[in-house]
Amino acid sequence: MARPLRAQLRRGVSDALLGAVALAVALCGVASSARASVFDSFGLGSRGVGMAGALTAASVDYAATFYNPADLLSRRRTHGGLGFVWLSPHFTIDRDLRDSPHASVLPEQNFGVVLGLSAPLGGIFDRKVALGFALYLPLRRYTRAQFDDYRSPQLYLHDNLADKLLLTFGGAVEIVPWLRIGAGFQLLANLNGTADFQMDLVDGRLENEELSIDLHADLAATAGIAVEPLPGFELAVAYRQDLEFQFALPVTADIDEFGRLEFVLRGTSLYTPHQIAFGASYRVPMRYPLTIAADLTWAMWSLAPSPSPDVAFSIDGKGLLGENSGTKPLIGAVATAAPTQSKDILVTRLGLELEVDDWHVRAGYAYRPTPLPRPVADANFVDSDTHMIALGAQWTFRSEVLRRRKLLGIGLGLQAAILEPRRVDKVDPADDTGGYRASGAVLNLTLDISHDF
C-alpha cells in the first residue's frame, strides 16, 4: 500500500503544481511585457502620426485629450473621428550563440481602432468649456500583460505595445481669450485575484474550489495649460501621470495528505512613465498657412518598475510531516524581479503642417534616446536610441451649401521608428545567452475619417 500511496502523492503534487502554473499562465500569459502606449510612442490620429507627435501646443481636436487637454477649445465645433492603426515591427537580434537556451523574443504585427470626439459646450458656457475623449481598441487582444524569461533578449518598448486598451478623457476651460487650462485622465484596467483549492489525493478529488478575480480601473491624471500671447502663436505645457497594469495572483491548494501549496505571481506591466511636455507652435499667416510645432518631453523612466514579475512557490509538507514540521517550507523557490536601471530621457519632436486649399500636408521628426543601459549582465531588456520620421496628408470635403464649413476629412499618417543598431557583449564570457546585435524599425500606418458637426 505504501508504494501506490507514494505514487499517488507524487502524481498529486505534480498535478497541483501544473494546476497552479496553468492558472497563473491563463490569467497572466507567458510572453514579454511592453512599456509606453501607442499614443505615446507613435501618435494619436493621422495628424499626430504625421507630425511625429509634436502636438502639445498644436492639438485641434480630440487628440488634445492625450497631448494637452487645454487645447480641446482650439476647435469651436463638435468634431468626431474614427481611425485604423496598423503597426508592423521589423526587428532582428543577431545572436553569437545560435544554440542558446534563451530564444529571442520579437514583437508581432498588430492593428487597432481609434475613436474620438471633442465638443465645445454651448448655452451659458458660450463655448468657454469643452469636453472630449479618445479610445484605442486593439483588435487582436484587448489588453495583454505577459512575460518572458528576463534572460531572453526582448524589445523593452515594443514587445506587445499595441495590446493595450486605452481611454483618455479631458475637459478645458477658457479663463481669458489668451489663456486656457485643461485636465483629464487616462484609464487602464488592473487585475487582482485569488485561487484556493482543497485536494484529497487518495480519493483523487477536489473537495473545495474557490476562485476570485477582480478587474478594476486605474486612472492616471492629465493636465495642461495653453497660452496665446500673439495671434497664431501658442506656448503650452502638459503633464501625464504614470500609468501601469498591476496584477497579483496568489494560488493556494490544501493537499490533505501532503500539505499546503502556495504559488504567488505579482508584478507591473504596460507601464507608461510620468511625463512633462513643453510645446510651442506658430501658424505662419501666408497664402498657404504653415504650422510649425516643436515639443520637448521629459519622460521619467527612472521611476519605472521592473518589467519582470515576482514569483514565489512553496509546499509546507504539514500533511506529510505533521503540524510539528516547523515553519520552514518543505519545498520553496523565489524569483525576484530583474532590475532595468532605467534613466530619465528628453524626447524632442518637430512637426510641420502646410494648408493648401482642401489639403493639409504634414511632416515630422522625433528623437527618443533609450532609457536603458546596455544589458551586459543577466537581464536582456533591449532598446536603442530611436529616430522617428513621419509624413501625412488630409483631404477635406466642403459642404455644397456652406462652402466655408468643412464637413468631412480623410487623413493618412505614415511613420517609421528606426532603432540605431546596438551591440551587446556580456561581462561574463560563460553567459549562456551570449552576445548579440539588435536593430530594426516599426512601421506605422494610420488612416482615419473625421467630421465637423
- Residue 83, strand partner residues: 114, 448
Secondary structure letter of residue 44 according to DSSP = S
* Least confident among 41-55, 232-246, 403-417: 403-417
Q: Are 243 and 220 in contact (CB under 8 A)?
A: yes
Question: Which of the four pLDDT bands, split at 50, 70 and 90, describes residue 141?
Answer: low
Where is pLDDT greater, at 183 or 3?
A: 183
Which pLDDT score, from 0 to 100, does residue 1 have? 41
Q: Are 177 and 127 in contact (CB under 8 A)?
A: no
Residue indicated by cell numbers 515576482: 310
Which pLDDT score, from 0 to 100, does residue 254 have? 76
Where is pLDDT greater, at 377 or 144?
A: 377
Domains of the chain: 2-452 (2.40.160.60)
Which pLDDT score, from 0 to 100, does residue 399 have? 58
Helices marked H in 154-238 — which ranges? none
Question: Which of the four pLDDT bands, split at 50, 70 and 90, describes residue 435?
Answer: very high
Where is pLDDT greater, at 120 or 22?
A: 120
Which pLDDT score, from 0 to 100, does residue 17 have? 45
Check whether 340 has a pLDDT greater than 90: no
Which pLDDT score, from 0 to 100, does residue 240 have? 97
Secondary structure letter of residue 15 according to DSSP = H
Where is pLDDT greater, at 326 or 311?
A: 311
To the nearest whole number, what is the mean pLDDT of the chain?
83
* Least confident among 171-175, 212-216, 275-279: 212-216
Q: Residue 67 CA to chain centroid, in angstroms?
A: 15
Check whether 227 has a pLDDT greater than 50: yes
Check whether 310 has a pLDDT greater than 70: yes
* Least confident among 100-104, 146-150, 279-283: 146-150
Highest mean pLDDT among 79-93, 161-175, 258-272: 79-93
User: What pLDDT digit, counting tens, does each position of 240-286 carry?
Assistant: 999 887 777 777 777 766 677 787 877 777 788 999 999 999 999 99
How many Cα neighbours within 13 Å face the side chain of 338? 17
3-state SS, residue 139: coil
Q: Which amino acid is at 255?
A: I
> Mean of the pLDDT values across residues 333-346?
82
Secondary structure letter of residue 95 according to DSSP = E
- In 3D space, the residue among 55, 25, 58 whose CA is nearest the CA of residue 42 turns out to be 55
Residue 108 and residue 134: Cα distance in Å, rounded? 24
- Residue 301, strand partner residues: none
> Mean of the pLDDT values across residues 440-452?
95
Highest mean pLDDT among 48-57, 72-81, 215-224, 246-255: 48-57
Check whether 26 has a pLDDT greater than 50: no
Which pLDDT score, from 0 to 100, does residue 252 have? 79
Residue 347 and residue 240: Cα distance in Å, rounded? 14
Question: Which of the four pLDDT bands, split at 50, 70 and 90, describes residue 13?
Answer: very low
* Least confident among 96-105, 155-164, 219-228, 404-413: 155-164
What is this structure's pTM?
Answer: 0.83
Which pLDDT score, from 0 to 100, does residue 179 have? 97
Question: Which of the four pLDDT bands, split at 50, 70 and 90, describes residue 22?
Answer: very low
Where is pLDDT greater, at 235 or 263?
A: 235
Percent of the chain with pLDDT over 70: 77
Which pLDDT score, from 0 to 100, does residue 433 have? 94
DSSP state letters, 40-84 = HHH-SHHHHHHTTT--TTT--STTHHHH-GGGGGG--S-EEEEEE
- Neighbour tally for 339: CB within 10 Å: 15
* Least confident among 10-19, 43-52, 290-299, 316-325: 10-19
Secondary structure letter of residue 39 according to DSSP = H
Percent of the chain with pLDDT over 90: 53
Which pLDDT score, from 0 to 100, does residue 59 have? 96
Check whether 105 has a pLDDT greater than 80: yes
Which pLDDT score, from 0 to 100, does residue 195 have? 56
